[in-house]
């Protein structure tokens, strides 16, 4: 099984990006900037910091991912036609084992990359202008960002600039019930 195929089955950089996102959204100093610079700028700063870190540490992460996949997932499963990738096929039953083994194998890499991402994010946030009160949450003014998953979902929804306003609102509506403030209901 070629390394490229093993990395693909392991989701490529997905788990690495997710680790950086979770580290950022759970960082109190980074989260405190959300209200000051607004959700759009916050998410843009996250994407930029994450992209730089993934570009720098990506090769080391992929090597750890491939090694972990080869240790955790049996060869016959990797070679199976049903092993379609991270979000489909039989690989998903190994998700938790892969993630735990990868956290153990790449812990120092995750720590260093996470710290670098927070540093880059903080520098970008410091130079970001303060938004007007009330505009910080637009277009999520009816959401509560107390839960980190709400911030991650907002960033995911804002990640594709080619989406029209109508498409955006349709996609956002799927998450509205989970993230609305109690007083908005």
Band (pLDDT 50/70/90 cuts) for residue 185 is very low
Contacts of 21 by beta carbon, 8 Å cutoff, 6+ apart: 46, 50, 152, 155
Q: What is the model's pLDDT at position 134?
A: 64
Measured between alpha carbons, how far is 65 from 61 in angstroms, rounded to an integer? 6
pLDDT in tens, 25-71: 999 999 889 889 999 999 999 999 999 999 999 999 999 999 999 99
Q: Are 154 and 140 in contact (CB under 8 A)?
A: yes
**Max Cα-Cα span within the chain:** 57
pLDDT in tens, 167-182: 988 999 989 988 877 5
Q: Please give the model's pTM, rounded to 2 decimal places.
A: 0.84
Angle of helix 14-25 versus helix 148-157 axis, rounded to 10: 130
CB 109 within 8 A of CB 60: yes
* Burial of residue 36 (number of CB atoms within 10 Å: 0-12, 13-18, 19+): middle
């Amino acid at each position: 099984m070629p390394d490229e195929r093993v990395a693909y089955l392991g989701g490529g950089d997905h788990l690495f990006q997710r680790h950086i996102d979770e580290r950022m959204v759970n960082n109190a100093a980074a989260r405190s900037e959300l209200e000051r610079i607004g959700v759009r700028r916050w998410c843009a700063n996250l994407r930029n910091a994450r992209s730089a870190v993934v570009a720098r540490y990506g090769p080391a992460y992929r090597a750890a991912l491939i090694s972990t996949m080869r240790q955790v997932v049996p060869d016959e499963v990797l070679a199976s036609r049903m092993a379609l990738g991270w979000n489909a096929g039989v690989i998903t039953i190994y998700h938790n084992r892969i993630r735990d083994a990868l956290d153990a194998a790449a812990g120092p890499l995750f720590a260093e990359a996470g710290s670098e991402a927070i540093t880059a994010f903080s520098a970008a946030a410091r130079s970001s202008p303060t938004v007007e009160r009330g505009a910080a949450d637009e277009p999520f003014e009816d959401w509560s960002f107390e839960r980190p998953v709400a911030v991650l979902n907002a960033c995911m929804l804002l990640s594709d600039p080619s989406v029209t306003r109508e498409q955006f609102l349709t996609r956002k509506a799927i998450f509205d019930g989970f993230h609305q403030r109690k007083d908005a209901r």
